[in-house]
Structure 1
Amino acid sequence: MAPSPNYRSHAPEQAVPVAAGCGPHPAVPAPTAVLALPADAACVSAARHWSIAVLTLWGLGREDCGTAALVVGELTANAVRYGHRDMSILLLLRPQRLYVCVADSGVVSQDHRPVIPQDPAEHGRGLALVEAVAEAAVAAREPEGWRVGAVLRVGTAGQAARSGAVAL
């Protein structure tokens, strides 16, 4: 089965479904966290710190948390720069996979107009970085804004969270 044009994936079975909100709809509950923020540059750091705190609570290792924080940072920075007034971040942990989705919505602000970067060394690498560390990544235009997601392979340290036993 070939992936649809809305997918970019190293393995079609691991593709990020756009229509499903950047993650699978599991038959069994999975650790899920959602954060809604204004699409403001000051919130990018807060989103990264939040993702690290959540993933640490879920039992993910330091390297997995760092990779996820990089992805959250890049996707939220893009939402701030090119998106609408509000953004939300979804983290969904499944066996050996972390689904990360950032969506923007609301009124388009005058501050969020795309700008051609003057220095390519300073801008324009965000999605390339995400694609480099993710098994799959997708960006989709939706009626209310953009939805961008990534699937990250994570270690087995998250087993405690999936079983419901989280050490604090």
Structure 2
Amino acid sequence: MDFLDSALMDSYGLACTAEMPERWPTSSAGLCLPARAAMARHVRRFAAPWFARWDLTSDEQDSALIVVAELTANAVLHGRGDMSIFLVRNHDGLIIQVTDHHAHADAPHSEPAPCPDEHGRGLIMVQSLADDLQINVTADGWCVRARMNFDH
């Protein structure tokens, strides 16, 4: 993988499942990382080449990277261990799913936190960029899935 440092992945014992297809209609990529703030840039570095390969426009790529960043930030903030990121490109859009394994019992909030300058806007931004947002509790933790529809 030239877009994510394999030595970094090896040092954390990280897993990556990815197939770089020539074209979609349906293709996917996944990554598991420790739920730590330092990993956020690696998630963006992982996602960006996929979005480009999947023929997303520049604006769509920017929006999708914001969604990835916000969902990852929530997983880091609320998770307790690993987080997994799963990207799916299908005929009508993109699905971005982030699971924060062994998360705190508190539900993610789309309302501003006590200090709105620093927290509380992430899910509001995701809701404005995504066509659908689902937040579910699973046996592993919180799973947040954003679906973005594209016209091409």
TM norm structure 2: 0.73
Please tell me whether Structure 1 or Structure 2 has the larger radius of gyration of its CA atoms: 1
| Residue of structure 2 in register with 1:74 after alignment | 70
CA contact (8 A) 2:86 2:98 kept: yes
State, as a whole percentage, how many aligned pairs show the same letter. 36
Q: Does 1:133 align with 2:129?
A: yes
Amino acid in the other structure paired with 2:126: V
**Please, what is the CA RMSD of the aligned residues?**
2.2
Q: Which runs of 4+ in 1 moved over 4 A?
A: none
Is the 2:25–2:90 contact (alpha carbons within 8 Å) kept by the matching residues of 1?
no
Post-superposition shift, 1:53? 1.2
**Partners of 2:150 and 2:134 in 1: CA distance:** 19
Deviation at 1:154, TM superposition (A): 2.4
Q: Give the structure 1 partner of residue 26 of structure 2.
A: 30
Tell me the amino acid that sits aligned with residue 65 of structure 2: A
* More displaced 10-residue stretch of structure 1: 129-138 or 40-49: 40-49
Q: 2:59: which partner in 1?
A: 63
Contact 2:25 2:91 in 1 (8 A): no
Please say if residues 85 and 105 of structure 1, whose CA atoms lie closer than 8 Å, have aligned partners that are also in contact.
yes
Q: What is the CA–CA distance in structure 2 between the aligned matches of 1:29 and 1:69, rounded to whole Å?
A: 20
Give the deviation of 1:118 after TM superposition.
4.8
Aligned-residue offset at 1:52: 1.1
Distance 1:102 1:53 in 2: 18
Structure 2 unpaired stretches of 5+: 1-23
Gaps of 5+ in 1: 1-27, 157-168
- Which one-letter code corresponds to 1:75 in the other structure? L
Equivalent positions of 1:13-162 (< 5 A) are 30-106=26-102, 117-156=113-152
Aligned 8 A contact 2:32 2:84 in 1 = yes
Number of residue pairs the alignment of both structures matches: 123
